[in-house]
Amino acid sequence: MSRIIFKKQSIKKLTNRNLKQWLKWTAISCTMTVLALTIAAHLPRRTGTQVNVCTNSPYSSPYSVYLVADSMHVDLVLPVENSAFDWRSVVKLETIGREKRNDYRYLKFGWGDRDFYMNTPSLDKIQLPRLIRTLFVPGNPTAIHINGYPHVPIDAQDGFILGK
């Protein structure tokens, strides 16, 4: 009788162990599938600079705001000065870029995760752990980059113009 009980307990243990292992790997597989689909949904669909013009805006404004998108990022291009705001009161134009200039008429602003910005020079250099941390971990340090231009940048000339 004790042999039969032992065999039943062994079979029960083996079944429980297999079931736990199966549940563990099923949960891991489901989690990885959801994670891969989430990452794929957030990756850009096209490479290169995307330029669009908004011509049917219900709003009109005397101010031009350009949105310039590349394969990893969207930047705002704003005039340095207009009747609403003068960026020279906030940003010293001669400190932007390698050349000491103060004749910039447009500023291009970008904002995002500092570690991703500093350590990912191109799409082919993306590291999965860094990408996951950037997308899903709140509270990461951020960075703002500002580029100055004496005229509307070429990639923004036909840019997505808001409110003009």
pLDDT above 80 for 164: no
Among candidate residues 147, 150, 149, 151, the one with its CA nearest the CA of residue 96:
147
Q: Give the Cα separation of 62 and 24 in Å (integer).
A: 59
Which DSSP string do the residues of 113-138 spell out, in sequence order? EHHHHHH--SGGG--HHHHHHHHH-T
Predicted local confidence at residue 27, as pLDDT:
92
Residue 48 CB partners (closer than 8 Å, separation 6+): 70, 71
pLDDT above 60 for 46: no
Continuous segment of H or E residues that includes residue 80: none
- Within 10 A of 107 (CB to CB), how many other CB atoms are there? 20
State pLDDT tens for residues 85-141.
899 999 888 888 777 788 889 999 988 899 988 898 888 888 889 988 888 888 889
- pLDDT top residue among 137 and 52: 137
Among candidate residues 67, 145, 149, the one with its CA nearest the CA of residue 107:
149
Structural domain boundaries in the chain: 1-42, 65-162
How many residues does this entry show for the chain? 164
